[in-house]
Structure 1
Amino acid sequence: MPPTELLAAAHALPASDTAEPAVRMRGLRKAYGAHEVLKGIDLDVRPGEVVAIIGKSGSGKSTLLRCINGLETFQHGTLTVLGQPLKHDDAAAMRTLRQHVGMIFQQFNLFPHLTVGRNVMLAPSLVKKTEARAGEARARALLARVGLAEKFGAWPDQLSGGQQQRVAIARALAMDPAILLCDEITSALDPELVGEVLGVVESLAAEGMTLLMVTHEMGFARKVSDRVIFMHQGKVHEMGPPAELFGSPKTPELKQFLSSLHG
């Protein structure tokens, strides 16, 4: 299936076992020097599926996400995104990949010298050559979607952390990604601001966005995700529906991890 058709399918299809995976990994291994961070990951993510990735710091969660959008190069295995194999030596293919895979980071990474609206408009104007008037209309609509319609002309340093992170979500959505990767997007926020950001992500999940989220918000993972992955020492240690994974963990490692959260 051509990328454009697969992209449309990724938006349109419900999470089903018959759809071609939005992301497929086989035997994925990633090392930094002698330190192996990912030790043979096999994973399929269906279009429209919401997957939460949990685990201790250093278990490989963020590295896994960064491999999916090409920020990290892996040494062994295969990774297919929207039906296309990820090829680091093909610059054009990598640009296409990044148009279809959005990523939101712990730090908001907004450009301080650009207004909120210009931050959201920048990538479409550079990558897709979006005309200014259409780009502004789209940016205003996306800011309204994340509850910040009135902040189009504001500067990033005038916003709270939660507002900046919501702008970062709007900016990622401006490229119309088929897949959205969220890497601990609430960990830099004050506790009272976490809910406003998670509310936006929950609405995206409800609309059928394919989401992979590294998170330490277990209540949110239980509520929103279709599947939870517990990573331990570079491997997928347990995987299943949230009720099953949180309600009856099978391994001592997951039991210990969950009990440590309540300690």
Structure 2
Amino acid sequence: MLTLREVTKEFRIGAFGGKSVAAVKGVSFDVVPGEVVSLIGESGSGKSTIGRMILGLNSATSGSITFDGLPVRAGKEYYRHVQGIFQDPFSSFNPVFKADRVFAMIKEAYYPGVPAAEWGERVETSLRDVRLNPGQVLGRYPHQLSGGQLQRLLIARALLLDIKLLVADEITSMLDASTRIDVLNLLAELKTRGLGVLYITHDLSLGTYLAERTVVLRQGRVAEMGPTDDVFGGPLHPYTRELLSAVPRLHEAWDDAVPVETCAYHEGGGTGGLLEVTPGHFVSCAGLASCPGG
């Protein structure tokens, strides 16, 4: 379904754009139908930049991003199948319009010929699918709804389309703990319908909870990727181990951070190259400062 191959994104910087900085460097991975893939890394690692390129909001400097075998092209037909949800749900709504305006815009753009009564039934069905009561959310302004309700409204909007891929960028970071789990359980339920999800987060615990596969980014490169149980249960890259050591654990004192040591995998593929250590589990030196190839 979604395929990234050696994707690089550079941004021009400086007063006259004479210099450039690479936010994403040679990233490759796939998302297949009915699968959740977590894209994990610290702030500035390139996660959101990748999400924006998949959504057609930014173009790649080099490499390729394809969906169902075709290059990504931002436009009405592409967004019929690919939708994004972002960290701040309030920014996705116009504060002067009531929540049902979101669904009216979908009808105007994609289903102008559907009778109003039939459309109303579709909207109510999509809201119930995300465990919202239509009577409690339609007709209300965004400020009258909680962040969790707004995020579920956005998911319901996506369900009204023929959606195949959902890019979820830090969608739970502004929610309280109980609402966060509700939203994650909803995504897990949707994948059983064949929906592919790219779940972008800096929170390792949430990534572990949701995803079958995990991609760990460091400074724009893939440091490690593979089945989530392998990546988190037996991390091979020093950076992955360092991230895991920083996760708080109840009733335990925190361990000291794992030192970033010389990378044992540099010879497997060179800086940024990936070595398949076990089936489906890839690791790279990713340009560690102490690595001879860094």
1:124 and 1:174 in contact (8 A); partners too: no
1:25 and 1:44 in contact (8 A); partners too: yes
Is residue 2:119 matched to residue 1:140? Answer: no
Is residue 2:168 matched to residue 1:185? Answer: no
Superposition deviation, residue 198 in structure 1: 1.7
Is residue 2:105 matched to residue 1:122? Answer: yes
For residues 53 and 125 of structure 2, the distance between their equivalents in structure 1, rounded to whole angstroms, comes to 30
Q: Which amino acid aligns with 1:104?
A: I
Deviations along 1:190-220, whole A, 9 cap, x unmatched? 3343122222212112322111110234333
For residues 217 and 139 of structure 1, the distance between their equivalents in structure 2, rounded to whole angstroms, comes to 32
Is residue 2:222 matched to residue 1:239? Answer: no
Tell me the TM-score normalized by structure 2. 0.75
Deviations along 1:27-83, whole A, 9 cap, x unmatched? 211011111011011222222221011111111111111111101111111111122
SS at match of 1:148: coil
Superposition deviation, residue 238 in structure 1: 0.6
Q: Which amino acid aligns with 2:11?
A: Y
Aligned to 1:106: 87
Deviations along 1:123-152, whole A, 9 cap, x unmatched? 232233252333222111111111112322
Aligned to 2:76: 95
For residues 121 and 94 of structure 2, the distance between their equivalents in structure 1, rounded to whole angstroms, comes to 20
SS at match of 1:219: helix
Tell me the TM-score normalized by structure 1. 0.84
RMSD: 1.7
* Structure (1 or 2) with the larger CA radius of gyration: 2
For residues 127 and 23 of structure 1, the distance between their equivalents in structure 2, rounded to whole angstroms, comes to 23
**Unmatched tracts of structure 1, length 5 or more:** 1-21, 88-92
Aligned to 2:8: 29
> Whose helix fraction is larger, Structure 1's or Structure 2's?
1
For residues 153 and 111 of structure 1, the distance between their equivalents in structure 2, rounded to whole angstroms, comes to 13
Aligned to 1:83: 69
Q: Work out the percentage of aligned pairs sharing the same amino acid.
A: 36
Aligned to 2:281: none
Counting matched residue pairs gives 237
SS at match of 2:58: coil
Q: Comparing 187-196 with 46-55, which one deviates more in the overlay?
A: 187-196
Aligned to 1:207: 193
1:56 and 1:232 in contact (8 A); partners too: yes
For residues 230 and 53 of structure 1, the distance between their equivalents in structure 2, rounded to whole angstroms, comes to 6
For residues 47 and 121 of structure 2, the distance between their equivalents in structure 1, rounded to whole angstroms, comes to 36
Q: Which amino acid aligns with 2:101?
A: R
Q: Comparing 61-70 with 203-212, which one deviates more in the overlay?
A: 203-212
**Residue 130 and residue 102 in structure 1: after superposition, are their counterparts in 2 closer, same or farther (change >3 A)?**
farther
For residues 177 and 121 of structure 1, the distance between their equivalents in structure 2, rounded to whole angstroms, comes to 17
**Unmatched tracts of structure 2, length 5 or more:** 13-19, 249-253, 255-294
